[in-house]
Every structure is written in C-alpha cells, then in structure tokens.
C-alpha cells in the first residue's frame, strides 16, 4: 500500500502535516475530512512531511529549514500564484479567511512572503475587506487581481473567484513560457554562430598567416578580407568588447525610454511574422482579462479599463483605450471594437453573438482560447522556418571562411606554376 504525505489545516487554522498509508489519494482525503481537517495537498512522493501524522507544522517546517535554505528576495508572481491556489483550496473547504491566512503564514518559508501575509492578516482582523488590504500592495497584485477579489466579496463566491484567478494566471504563465521557450533555441544557435566565428577568426585563420604573408595583393580579395578580420579581432578584441558593452548599454537605455519603447514596438508590429505573433499575443491578454473580469461580475467599463492595461504594446493599447469612452457614450461593444480596427472579423462576430445572447464574458474567453491556439501554432510554424534558416546561415559563415582560405592556398599553387 503506498504512503502519502499530506498537508492540512485544522478548524482553528493550525497547519498540520503527516503521512498516511492508503490505497489512493482520495482515501487520504476522506481520512483527513473524518478527522475534521481541511486537506491542502496530498503527495504520493512523501516529500511534504517528515514527521508523524498530526505533527505540528512549525516542527516540520523547522526540519525543512535546516535541510534547505529558505528562499530570499521580494515576493514574485509565482509566490502570488501559489498563495492564491492554496487560499482558494482552504476557503472552498470552509476555513475562514483569517484562519486561512494564518495557515499560509505558518506554511511560508520566504521572509518577504510571510511579512506580506502578516500585514494582510492584520488588515483583515482590523475589519478591512480583503480587496482593500490587497489594494495597499497595488504594485504587486494590480487592478485585475484586486477587482476579481472585490467581485468575489460582493457575490459571496470568494473561493470560486480565486480558482478562476489561479486558472487565469496559469494560462498566462503557460503562454509566456511558450513564447520564452520559442526564443531559447534561436538564441542558442546565434551564440553558437558567434562562438564559431570567433574560433575560426581568432585561432584557425591565424595558422595560415605565415603561408600568406609574402603574397600581398596576389591573394584573392575574399582571403585578404578574412585575414584582415582575423588580425583586427586578435589585436583589437579589447576595444571591440568595450564598444559592444557601450553599444549594449546605450541600446538598453534607448529601448527602455518611452520614445525608444514606442519606436521598437512600432517596428516589431511591422515585421512580417514576428509582428503578427506579438499582435495576437497582446490581443490574447486583453481578451482573456476582459472575459475573466466580465464572467466574475465586474462592470463592463471597469473591465475594459483594466483589460486594456494588460496589453504591453503601447500602440495597440492606445487603440484599445478608445473602446471604453465609446461604450460609456452608449455604443455597443461590437461597434467600439470595429472602430478600433484592431480585431479580425472572427473576434467581432463572437462579440456580436455574446452581446445578443447576454454571454459577453464567455465569448471573450472563447476568443482568447482561439487567439491562444493561433499564437502557439504561429510560434511552432515560425520555429520550423527559423531553425533551418539559422543553421544554413551558420554553415554559410563557416563555409565562406573555409572557401576564402582555400582560394588563398590555390592562388599559391598558381604562383608556383
């Protein structure tokens, strides 16, 4: 019979961890509920607890602290996502909000996270709504998160709203990771190309310098160019490194400025393949945020303002910002979308159906799912095209150097004849 490690909360908000032998995870859940414990996590690997069942959480966490250094640094998006997931589970199981926060505090091993949770608990104990306590940390949670929690408080469905928040954050994380993973392989190929070029010019080509030294203008032009590049790299590499660092610093400063960011975003949108992918990615963020907010009862105007702020591209964000004033003046959502010229016919038709059937939120979620699939398919197609192009370019660079050296060797043979 397998052994399961579990983590649960008692009725008074205390965190309890332990191990149980059971035929399945469901059986462990039933055992915990029979003991009036709120299950938080069950893991067959046995990694959650080292003590006996019912051991106090602080004892178990102390052993973890000795075994592994506690994470440091500020609270990150992953910490918020984990906190939201665990809080949703505890609220769904019937634990009061203040007790659930106490459990999270006991579970926290990151000092910054523990401090933030203690501050939230103090605000909630003082009578403040949870959304107001979160709004004091606006830079961490943002309008979207706070308004979702506020809608959960108004509807009395806090645990369900937190579940949707977790699902929303997980989908955004998956979308961002797919975009990041798409860049990793081309970046590796580019680094390999640069390293190969440095090795060829810095170590391989100099081996032929003595052979070509006395030929002068008799060397073919490609060979002379390669020899000059090799000599320049060997003698002025320090200046090249300093120049590259300076150019990188200047470029970073320019691109992080409002003018540089706007210029870069405009040029990226104009690129043949990358531009469309970035455009669809931003529309996916907007559609998913708007659909999630509307589904949870946030008013349309507020939802439009919040969803627009999730868009990273400033040019597209400016176009989408025109929708809220039009809707405020009485225009239908579909007319506001058409006026921006930012949406394709499929998106407009889905919104039209959503308005006519009173299901605008679900339709925006459906639109975000469609755009999400388009982005993922576009990334796969782009990679399928980019990888062979970069490999051919790398091979072409090395082949050009080798051919230039061979031309020099052949020219020596011609002089000898």
d(CA 237, CA 234) in angstroms, rounded, equals 6
Categorize the per-residue pLDDT at 415 as very low, low, confident or very high, splitting at 50, 70 and 90: low
With a CB cutoff of 8 Å and minimum separation 6, the contacts of 104 are: 83, 86, 87, 117
Task: Give percent of the chain with pLDDT exceeding 70.
Answer: 88
With a CB cutoff of 8 Å and minimum separation 6, the contacts of 47 are: 5
Categorize the per-residue pLDDT at 214 as very low, low, confident or very high, splitting at 50, 70 and 90: low
The pLDDT tens digits of the residues spanning 24-73 come to 777 877 787 777 677 777 777 544 434 333 344 443 333 334 344 556 77
Residue range(s) in the chain whose domain bears CATH number 1.20.81.30: 77-165, 166-417
Categorize the per-residue pLDDT at 414 as very low, low, confident or very high, splitting at 50, 70 and 90: low
Other residues' Cβ atoms within 10 Å of the Cβ of residue 53? 17
Number of H helices, E strands in the chain: 19, 4
pTM: 0.65
Categorize the per-residue pLDDT at 247 as very low, low, confident or very high, splitting at 50, 70 and 90: very high
Predicted local confidence at residue 215, as pLDDT? 65
Predicted local confidence at residue 246, as pLDDT? 93
CATH 3.40.50.2000 describes domain 77-165: no
pLDDT of 21 > 90? The answer is: no
Give the residue from 88, 112, 105 showing the smallest Cα distance to 38. Answer: 88
d(CA 341, CA 324) in angstroms, rounded, equals 15
Look at the block and give the residue holding tokens 């998160």.
Answer: 145
Query: What CATH number should be reported for the domain whose range is 166-417?
Result: 1.20.81.30
Predicted local confidence at residue 52, as pLDDT? 38
d(CA 338, CA 11) in angstroms, rounded, equals 53
**The two three-digit tokens of residue 291, written as one number:** 């659909």
d(CA 189, CA 115) in angstroms, rounded, equals 43
């Amino acid at each position: 019979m397998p052994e399961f490690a579990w983590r649960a909360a008692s009725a008074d908000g205390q965190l309890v961890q332990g191990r149980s032998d059971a035929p399945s995870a469901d059986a462990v859940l039933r055992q915990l509920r029979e003991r009036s414990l709120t299950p938080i996590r069950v893991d067959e690997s046995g990694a959650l607890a080292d003590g006996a069942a019912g051991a106090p959480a602080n004892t178990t966490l102390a052993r973890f602290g000795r075994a592994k250094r506690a994470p440091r640094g500020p609270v990150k998006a992953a910490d918020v996502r984990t906190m939201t997931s665990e809080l949703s589970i505890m609220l769904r199981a019937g634990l009061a909000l203040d007790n659930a926060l106490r459990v999270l505090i006991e579970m926290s091993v990151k000092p910054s996270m523990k401090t933030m949770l203690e501050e939230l608990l103090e605000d909630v104990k003082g009578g403040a709504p949870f959304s107001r306590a979160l709004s004091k940390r606006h830079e961490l949670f943002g309008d979207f998160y706070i308004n979702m929690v506020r809608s959960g408080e108004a509807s009395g469905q806090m645990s369900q709203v937190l579940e949707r928040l977790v699902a929303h954050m997980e989908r955004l994380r998956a979308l961002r990771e797919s975009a990041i993973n798409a860049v990793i392989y081309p970046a590796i190929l580019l680094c390999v190309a640069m390293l190969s070029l440095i090795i060829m010019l810095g170590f391989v080509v100099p081996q032929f310098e003595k052979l070509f030294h006395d030929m002068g203008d008799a060397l073919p032009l490609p060979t002379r160019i390669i020899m000059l590049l090799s000599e320049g790299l060997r003698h002025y590499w320090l200046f090249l490194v300093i120049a590259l660092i300076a150019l990188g610093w200047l470029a970073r400063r320019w691109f992080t400025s409002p003018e540089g960011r706007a210029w870069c975003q405009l040029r990226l949108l104009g690129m043949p393949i990358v531009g469309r992918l970035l455009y669809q990615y931003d529309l996916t963020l907007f559609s998913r945020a708007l659909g999630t907010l509307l589904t949870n009862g946030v008013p349309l105007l507020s939802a439009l303002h919040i969803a627009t702020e999730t868009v990273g591209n400033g040019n597209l964000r400016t176009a989408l910002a025109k929708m809220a004033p039009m809707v405020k003046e009485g225009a239908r959502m579909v007319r506001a979308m058409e006026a921006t010229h930012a949406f394709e016919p499929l998106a407009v038709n889905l919104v039209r159906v959503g308005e006519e059937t009173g299901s605008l939120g679900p339709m925006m979620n459906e639109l975000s799912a469609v755009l999400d699939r388009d982005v993922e398919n576009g990334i796969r197609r782009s990679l399928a095209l980019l990888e062979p192009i970069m490999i051919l370019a790398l091979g072409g660079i090395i082949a050009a150097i080798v051919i230039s050296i061979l031309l020099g060797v052949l020219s020596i043979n011609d002089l000898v004849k």
